[in-house]
Amino acid sequence: MGTFQNQNAEAILWGSDIILWGNQDVTWDDPVSQSEFANIVIGNQQGFVHYYNDRIMMNDPNLTITNVTSSANILQMEIINHNLTDGELIYVTALSFVDTATGRIPQATDLNNNIYSIGFIDSNNIRLFKWNTSSLPHQYVTDFSYTPDLSTSTYVGCGTAALLPVMKIQSKDFNPYLKSGGQLKMSYIDFLTDVEAAGIVSISVFVNTSLASQSNILTGNKHINTDQQEPYYIPKADYSWHRFYQTCAGQFVRVQVSYDNDLLNTVDTHLSEYILNAMTLWVRPGGKVIF
C-alpha cells in the first residue's frame, strides 16, 4: 500500500463559475477531482496497482492468465502465484484464442465475462467450476460446455481475472427477554437500507446460538431487495425500509446478510452497493427458557 499524487487530475477550484455547489455529481472533498491529492493505492504480487476503495463496483482485473488448458474435460488456468484458495470466485475477461493449425485465425469464445469458482491445484494453477442453473438442484459443475474447442485452438494471452469479494454481515444473538428467563418469538424483520435499484441480498435467520439451526431453509423466503417500495416512499428517496417475513421461536435469534450462490454468480450483484443503516426485529415473549 502507498500513496499516489495524480498531477493531471482536473482540479475543482473554489472560484469556478462552471462547477457549482449544487451540482448533483460533485463533492468538494472528492480526492479524484483534486490535483496532487495523496490517493491511497494498493499493489499485488503480479504488479497490478489500483486506487483503494475509489468506487463501489466489481474489482478491476488483478491477475494475468498465462495459459488455458483442459485435462480430463476439466478446464484449467495457469495464473502465476495466484494466491487463491478453494471456493473463491473470479471474473474472467479478455481471453484470446487462435486456430492451432494456422496460428492466426481468431477463435470466438464464450469463456469471457463469466464468473467461476476455483479449485486449487498448486500455487500457479487452478481448475474452474461454473454455477449450473439449468437443472435442480443448482450446483457447481466442471463439465460445462464452452467455446472454442481447445483441441483445435490455442490460447494466445490477454486474459485477466478479478477476485470477487463475498459479503457476509452477521449480527449478535438477540433475546430482549433473557433477564426474565423467557424465550422469544419473531414475526418479521425490517431493514433500513440505502436505495439501490438492482440490489438483492440473501437473509439467513439462525436460532439458539447455532449456525446449524437456520430457521428459514424450507420457507423459500431468502431474498430481499433494496429498491424503493412505493407508495410508502416518495420517488428518489435515499433510504427505504424493507420487511422480511420470518416466523421463528427460540432462546436467541441471529441475522446474517450475505449472498447465496445464485446471487454470487450474477454480475449485477457485484455491481450493486449494499448499505444497511438499521434493523428492527419484531418480537414478543415466548415460553420459559428450557435447558
- Type of residue at 48: F
**CA–CA dist 87, 204 (Å, integer):** 20
Residue 27: pLDDT band with limits 50, 70, 90: low
pTM: 0.85
Domains of the chain: 1-55 (no CATH), 63-164 (2.40.30), 168-288 (no CATH)
**CA–CA dist 246, 213 (Å, integer):** 14
Residue that wins the pLDDT comparison between 23 and 275: 275
Residues 279, 104 contacting (CB under 8 angstroms):
no
DSSP bridge partners of 201: 224
What pairing do the DSSP bridges indicate for beta strands 114-122 and 153-157? unpaired
Across the range 157-173, mean pLDDT stands at 94
Q: Would you state the pLDDT for residue 12?
A: 65
Q: Would you state the pLDDT for residue 97?
A: 97
Across the range 159-166, mean pLDDT stands at 94
Residue 192: pLDDT band with limits 50, 70, 90: very high
Q: What percent of the chain has pLDDT over 90?
A: 62
For 217-248, the pLDDT digits (tens) are: 877 779 998 887 766 667 778 888 999 999 99
- Residue of 171, 174, 169 whose CA lies nearest to 208: 174
Q: Would you state the pLDDT for residue 28?
A: 59
Q: What percent of the chain has pLDDT over 70?
A: 87
Output the nine-digit C-alpha cell for 246. 420470518
Output the nine-digit C-alpha cell for 251. 432462546
Taking 60 as the threshold, does the pLDDT of residue 253 lie above it? yes
Residue 39: pLDDT band with limits 50, 70, 90: confident
Residues 107, 100 contacting (CB under 8 angstroms):
no
For 201-220, the pLDDT digits (tens) are: 999 999 988 888 888 887 77
**CA–CA dist 76, 126 (Å, integer):** 6
Q: Would you state the pLDDT for residue 30?
A: 63
Across the range 182-203, mean pLDDT stands at 91
Q: Would you state the pLDDT for residue 160?
A: 98
Across the range 45-54, mean pLDDT stands at 86
